[in-house]
Amino acid sequence: MTQTHQAAPEAAPPAEPGGREARAAARRPSTDGAMVRRALIGSVTKLHPRVQARNPVVFVVLVGSVLTTVLFVRDLPGAPAAQNVFNGLVALFLWFTVLFANFAEAVAEGRGKAQAAALRAGRTATTARRRTFADTTEEVAATDLAVGDVCLVAAGRTIPGDGDVIEGVASVDESAVTGESAPVIRESGGDRSAVTGGTRVLSDEITVRITAPPGQTFLDRMITLVEGAERKKTPNEIALNILLAGMTAIFLLAVVTLQPFAVYSGAEQGPVVLVALLVCLIPTTIGALLSAIGIAGMDRMVQRNVLAVSGRAVEASGDVDTLLLDKTGTITLGDRQAGGLVPMPGVTDEELAAAAMAASRADETPEGRSIVEYVRQRYGSGSDTGIAGSEPVPFTAQTRMSGLDGEHAGIRKGASEAVRAWVEEQGGEAPEALDHAVARIAGSGGTPLAVARSGGGGARVLGVVHLMDVVKPGMRERFERMRAMGIRTVMVTGDNPRTAEAIAAEAGVDDFLAEARPEDKLALIRKEQSGGAMVAMTGDGTNDAPALAQADVGVAMNTGTQAAKEAGNMVDLDSDPTKLIEIVEVGKRLLITRGALTTFSIANDVAKYFAIIPAMFSGALPALDTLNIMGLSSAHSAILSAVVFNAVIIVALVPLSLRGVRFRAQTAAATLRRNLLIYGLGGLIAPFIGIKAIDTVLTALGVS
Amino acid sequence: MSGAAWSQSAALVAVLLATAPFLGRYMAKVYGGEGKAPGDRVFLPLERVVYRLCRVDPESEQRWTSYAISLLAFSFVSFLSVYALQRLQSVLPLNPVGLPGVDAHVAFNVAVSFMTNTNWQAYGGESTMSHLTQMAGLTVQNFVSAAAGMAVMAALIRGLARRRAATLGNFWVDLTRGAVRVLLPLSFVVAVVLAGLGVIQNFKGHTAVTTLEGATQLIPGGPAASQVAIKQLGSNGGGFFDMNSAHPFENSTALSNFVENWAILLIPFALAFTFGAMVRDKRQGRAVFGIMLTVWAAMSIGAMGLEAAGNPRLDAMGVDQSVAPDQSGGYLEGKEVRFGPAASGLWAASTTGTSNGSVNAMHDSFTPMGGGLAMTHMVFGEVSPGGVGVGLNGLLVMSVLAVFIAGLMVGRSPEYLGKKIQAAEMKLVMLYLLAMPAVLLGFSAASVLTESALASLNNAGPHGLSEILYGYASTANNNGSAFAGLDSGTVWYTTTMGLAMLVGRFFLIIPVLAIAGSMAAKQPAPATSGTLPTHTPLFGGLVVGVVVIVAGLTFLPALALGPIAEQLSL
């Protein structure tokens, strides 16, 4: 059973192999010896009939195990030794079949349990400083807080419960929840006001209004989710269970009616043989691994730092037809970047570049840095403005400009009206070309920043910097993969349609929604759904909440508001909107694994018939020995080999069911062809080889 | 297989390819319900009379439940009328030979048999049934039980094609239109053609003739051509004579044999195209046709090959079994020399792949696996191409099952024609799949355990088991062909086989209607490159695989002890 060590953690997804994965890996307990030990204990404790009754296939095996054991014990005194060895081994391997099934589930649960334990360990008994009516504070246990209570949390203290910051701003260490050690800023008002119980304030003091009752905080829910304590069967799992139960019933019928036919043919079978046949035929492989596959699917989400509210949501993400992606932060970088310089008539490119760079040196905003970077790349850093002894002029909301002032000259960069006013103030005049350039850049969705220079008794406009949206690298390839998988991508943006179209074309999305208000997003989701499509989206703001709730897969950012987190059915702890694409792949992988192992399990039966039927009947009807195409050595060893194979294959497939079948971005037809070949055809052939090999070993051991 | 066998089957496929698509598209208009259908001027007035007489509002639509209740009510009335006609035929007119009333248990079996479109005959036609019983009872059922099966299919297709709909159509309208616009005109044409080819059509009783040897022989008469036409077209199969289409009065020449074989297959194959037209995706229809044709062709080639190869034990005795211009060749026991192993094997595959059940040779006398293939073809659930209507239903249910198992492998919840297959549908699919094996294996097992039931066997050993299995395979699948050699007229067999027929009909039809109702309410998802295509050869192969594996896993042990053991011991 050491094979479970092969259940290696997921390889990092191709997209972002950086820090996040490493963080997730650090929080993820490895499949170590202790976990395997726990799983082994779990395989035995799960033998309780109430646990077994949930799984009809394994339950039938359990009944078969008990039955064969009773028969073995009953016949022990009188039967010949060979018969006893056979009965005993069949009973033993039927027990193994049940235990292996339990083991698979226990291993899958093990990771989640270990994670939950780690989360619990990080949680300490906290007290809260609750504000009273008299406006004083009192110290109470965090567990005594009620929704609506207001608490003060000072630096170094743990936030006692989920809530909203109503006063103050503080840096908060949220590593207990996200695994991310860098602190985040939480402040009152806006979309960064939500704090999570169990996280720690590092600096300053904030006042928090509690929004979740104790025991139902985000951390509590997270523990419940990763632990799988409230795991319910998903819709597809239920349907699959019906198929498996139905097939079990059909095979029960086939085996029960076989005995009369056998009696008629003068080849009455012992009950141990009939039980062995039944267990080999019913779909034990998928029956044993089904719940492990589901748990592992949830676990794969957790490994990507995504918390799904239910397995149903994970499953739904595989069915997504349409992805709604916010432009800013998802498709484009969050901030605009310098993308061009437009000099005014009579100004050289170099002159403008040098001035723009000089004006941005002190500008620590991403836009400012992008201008410095842009100029350095194209013009080198040697250009000089010739302004000596300059002092930087910082940006203010009033002036809407930044720049520098020297002894005799100055440079300004900023909104075109502000720059124009500055130039005119000093007796200069803005050229007509400025209006043209500004209008053109604004019209294309970019942001124009005018650059001007004073000195020598006047001021003049040098030109305009074109700030534009920059599509994140690799997005086009990702969208192409989505398209290959049949998923439509829709970009949602507040930009005007012309701008939106340009960015949509550059990023390679299939469609876009321009000038979108939150209600437009909701309407778009409803429209897609009425056409039968399943829609996924991300959101963080309170005004995203209705759309998040309406979407089939709504992923809320962890940095988002409480309302958003409650409306969606997943929370991304990394607050990375591009994660949606990975979420879809995790969902697909889960469904593919189920389908592949179901197909494999059913295809296996063909070989088992070729082992067992001749073994059962070639004594009475020698002609049927022709069907023994594997050349199995004896009737007993043929049946035993099939039973052993049936048990061992479960353990052999545990790693695959935990890891999941690989998913490639390709059309459904190509995926089907590939998986049918591997799991359908492979499922037909593998047991022929496996059973023959086991028969050879059994014969060599002299077992039969 | 001889050249004659290949050319016969090729000609049959060619004629089917030339005729089935046309008929399929025509039937799509008959059941499509929207706008005009060809022949409205002739048929509409006729239908209006029927609707007025039966007080049916042709515009009103039914949910699946009332559709099912209508069908059950209609079937019950049909059962009663056929039962009454048989019991009272001695006092009713058109009984020239003066036949007595039929025994109660046989009458029950026959009434169930014809009402369920099985046409299992636990009686000899010419020696048991009066002309009135044949015409007003059996022939009427030949039409309406077939039309009822097609109506259910129309409801299922509508369920798959409609979006967010509550209703599936109107059973009474579908029943009427199927009978009036499809079965009646087609059987009229086929009856005339068959009569022209020598199949008898008269109202005579027995004619006494003196043979060349001077003995007196009674030659039966009757309206055979008209019944034979609908018997083949409507997947009925109940012969006018005991020998069915092996009788020269029912099937006179090689050419009439070809026409009848074509008539057996025509509507079931055409319905594939009806399906494609009604779901507005011709590729789906062609795929279904391809699946049906593949399985049917494989079984035909197998049966023809086995029968042409003959019996190895005869070879050992120096008998020449080769097919040659001057001899039919092959394994000729129980076959008509007129037809030989090729036409007999082709027919055997056709009659068991549909739920037809008429025979032109005795399947009991086939080589063990030749008979075994006929049995296997039935336990596939009769989907290749299946009985009129019910065959397509079966294939669509198998497609749903294939989609469910394999659809997951593309990484989406399984969907067929854009509609999700969920727990509710899977329950019904499993009910559908369980019903037939339950009665088939259950009653067969009970029979081999019962002394009196075993007494009905003519053969011991594996062949005896084959006879029992075949009888229940035929009745549980509403086929109706018989493996002679089993005296099925006993109380045990008439009763249990009657029950098998009822289960095989209604425990399949009602889940199908429920699936239709559940699918109709769904909103289909748009087809993208991420959805499982159900019109490709790959998917077709998958459905064939599912049909073969499901039946194989269920029936292989039983078949191994019957035909397989017998064949391997030759």
Of A249, A319, A484, the CB nearest to B413: A319
pLDDT band at A1 (very low <50, low <70, confident <90, very high): very low
Nearest residue on chain B to A320, judged by CA atoms?
A: B412
Q: Do A672 and B411 touch (CB under 8 A)?
A: no
Q: Average pLDDT, whole number, for chain B?
A: 91
pLDDT band at B125 (very low <50, low <70, confident <90, very high): low
Distance CA A469, CA B223 (A): 86
Q: Do A319 and B412 touch (CB under 8 A)?
A: yes
Of A532, A613, A663, the CB nearest to B418: A532
Q: Which of A40, A90, A85, A96 is nearest to A284 (CA)?
A: A96
Q: Do A250 and B554 touch (CB under 8 A)?
A: yes
- Pairing mode of beta strands A401-405, A553-557: unpaired
Phi/psi at A243 (5° precision): -60, -45
Does residue A692 have a pLDDT over 90?
yes
Domain of B184 in residue numbering reads as: 3-569
Q: Do B423 and A487 touch (CB under 8 A)?
A: no
pLDDT band at A214 (very low <50, low <70, confident <90, very high): confident
Name the strands in the sheet holding A137-141, side by side, starting at the edge strand that comes first in the sequence. Answer: A137-141, A127-131, A150-153, A206-210, A163-167, A194-195
pLDDT band at A130 (very low <50, low <70, confident <90, very high): confident
Q: Do A235 and B528 touch (CB under 8 A)?
A: no
Average pLDDT of the residues in A225-232:
73
pLDDT band at A663 (very low <50, low <70, confident <90, very high): confident
- How close A223 gets to chain B, by Cα (Å)? 28
Q: Do B438 and A253 touch (CB under 8 A)?
A: yes
Does residue A574 have a pLDDT over 60?
yes
pLDDT on residue B33:
66
**Which of B84-93, B259-268, B480-489 shows the lowest per-residue confidence on average (mean pLDDT)?**
B480-489
pLDDT on residue A482:
84
Residues of A labelled as active-site residues: 326
- How close B460 gets to chain A, by Cα (Å)? 9
Residues 6+ apart with CB under 8 A from A640: A86, A89, A90, A93, A276, A694, A698, A703, A704
Average pLDDT of the residues in A325-345:
82
Of A246, A606, A680, the CB nearest to B430: A246
Q: Can you say how many angstroms the Cα of residue B447 is from the centroid of all Cα atoms in its chain?
A: 24
Does residue A152 have a pLDDT over 70?
yes
- How close B502 gets to chain A, by Cα (Å)? 19
Tokens of A169: 């701003």
Distance CA B4, CA B322 (A): 13
Largest CA distance in chain A: 121
- How close B194 gets to chain A, by Cα (Å)? 43
**Which of A216-225, A504-513, B276-285 shows the lowest per-residue confidence on average (mean pLDDT)?**
A216-225
- Angle at Cα A187 formed by Cα A568 and Cα A175, nearest 5°? 65
Q: Which of B160, B283, B401, B409 would best serve as a mutation to test chain A binding (most A beta carbons within 10 A)?
A: B409
Nearest residue on chain B to A533, judged by CA atoms?
A: B525
DSSP B327-381: B--S--TTB-TTTHHHHHHHHHHHHHHTT----SB-GGGS-HHHHHHHHHHHHTT
Comparing B403 with A223, which gets the higher pLDDT?
Answer: B403
- Chain B residues whose beta carbon lies within 8 Å of the beta carbon of residue A531: 523, 526
pLDDT tens figures, B14-48: 999 999 999 999 999 999 866 688 888 889 999 99
Cβ–Cβ pairs < 8 A, chains A and B = 223
Of B426, B445, B536, the CB nearest to A239: B426
Average pLDDT of the residues in B60-82:
96
Q: Do A321 and B530 touch (CB under 8 A)?
A: yes
Q: Do A605 and B549 touch (CB under 8 A)?
A: yes
Instruction: For chain A, give the percent of residues with pLDDT over 90.
Output: 33
Q: Which of B464, B467, B476, B546 is nearest to B505 (CA)?
A: B476
Does residue A78 have a pLDDT over 70?
yes
Q: Of A123-127, A454-458, B53-57, which one has max mean pLDDT?
A: B53-57
- How close A633 gets to chain B, by Cα (Å)? 20
CA dihedral A74, A80, A85, A86 (to 10 degrees): -80
- Chain B residues whose beta carbon lies within 8 Å of the beta carbon of residue A260: 445-446, 448-449
pLDDT tens figures, A413-453: 888 888 888 888 888 888 888 888 888 888 777 888 899 98
**Which of A9-18, A408-417, B330-339 shows the lowest per-residue confidence on average (mean pLDDT)?**
A9-18
Comparing A542 with B81, which gets the higher pLDDT?
Answer: B81
pLDDT on residue B398:
96
Residues 6+ apart with CB under 8 A from A650: A97, A100, A101, A104, A284, A285, A288, A289
Average pLDDT of the residues in A633-662:
93
Q: Do B525 and A532 touch (CB under 8 A)?
A: yes
Does residue A209 have a pLDDT over 80?
yes
pLDDT on residue A473:
82
Nearest residue on chain B to A481, judged by CA atoms?
A: B530
Of B465, B539, B568, the CB nearest to A624: B568
Q: Which of A250, A315, A489 would best serve as a mutation to test chain B binding (most B beta carbons within 10 A)?
A: A250
- Chain B residues whose beta carbon lies within 8 Å of the beta carbon of residue A481: none
Average pLDDT of the residues in A312-334:
85
- How close B471 gets to chain A, by Cα (Å)? 15
- Chain A residues whose beta carbon lies within 8 Å of the beta carbon of residue B423: 235, 238-239, 242
Long-range contacts formed by A346-351: CB under 8 A, 24+ apart: A347/A462, A347/A463, A349/A379, A350/A379, A350/A383, A351/A462
**Which of A397-401, A536-540, B427-431, B538-542 shows the lowest per-residue confidence on average (mean pLDDT)?**
A397-401
Q: Of A426-430, A486-490, B169-173, which one has max mean pLDDT?
A: B169-173
pLDDT band at A543 (very low <50, low <70, confident <90, very high): confident
pLDDT on residue A302:
85
pLDDT on residue B420:
92
Total domains in the fold of chain B: 1
Average pLDDT of the residues in B189-196:
95
pLDDT on residue A13:
39
pLDDT band at A90 (very low <50, low <70, confident <90, very high): very high
Residue type, A418: A
- Chain A residues whose beta carbon lies within 8 Å of the beta carbon of residue B461: 265
SS3 category, A237: helix
Distance CA A217, CA A197 (A): 7
Q: Do A673 and B538 touch (CB under 8 A)?
A: yes
Task: Please check whether residue B20 is in contact with residue B146, taking contact to mean a CB–CB distance below 8 angstroms.
Answer: no
pLDDT on residue A683:
94
Q: What is the pTM of this model?
A: 0.88
Tokens of B186: 């087609």
Q: Which of B152, B180, B356, B172 is nearest to B271 (CA)?
A: B152
Does residue B508 have a pLDDT over 90?
yes
- Chain B residues whose beta carbon lies within 8 Å of the beta carbon of residue A259: 445
**Which of A351-365, A378-392, B253-267 shows the lowest per-residue confidence on average (mean pLDDT)?**
A378-392
pLDDT tens figures, A7-35: 333 333 344 434 444 444 444 444 567 77
pLDDT on residue A456:
72
**Which of A170-179, A629-638, B218-227 shows the lowest per-residue confidence on average (mean pLDDT)?**
A170-179
pLDDT band at A4 (very low <50, low <70, confident <90, very high): very low
Distance CA B360, CA B261 (A): 10
- How close B442 gets to chain A, by Cα (Å)? 6
Q: Average pLDDT, whole number, for chain A?
A: 85
- Chain A residues whose beta carbon lies within 8 Å of the beta carbon of residue B433: 246, 250
- Report H helices in A485-517: 497-507
Nearest residue on chain B to A255, judged by CA atoms?
A: B557
Task: Please check whether residue A103 is in contact with residue A118, taking contact to mean a CB–CB distance below 8 angstroms.
Answer: no
pLDDT tens figures, B312-324: 888 888 888 887 7
Of B413, B425, B536, the CB nearest to A315: B413
Distance CA B565, CA B570 (A): 9
Q: Do B430 and A486 touch (CB under 8 A)?
A: no
pLDDT on residue B150:
96
- Chain A residues whose beta carbon lies within 8 Å of the beta carbon of residue B407: 595
Q: Do A261 and B545 touch (CB under 8 A)?
A: no
pLDDT band at B407 (very low <50, low <70, confident <90, very high): confident
Residues 6+ apart with CB under 8 A from A365: A335, A395
Q: Of A129-143, A276-290, A314-328, A345-359, which one has max mean pLDDT?
A: A276-290
pLDDT on residue A305:
87
pLDDT tens figures, B439-466: 999 999 999 999 888 888 888 889 999 9
Of A250, A261, A530, the CB nearest to B434: A250
Nearest residue on chain A to B451, judged by CA atoms?
A: A264
Q: Do B565 and A617 touch (CB under 8 A)?
A: yes
Q: ipTM value, please give it.
A: 0.93
Average pLDDT of the residues in B275-289:
95
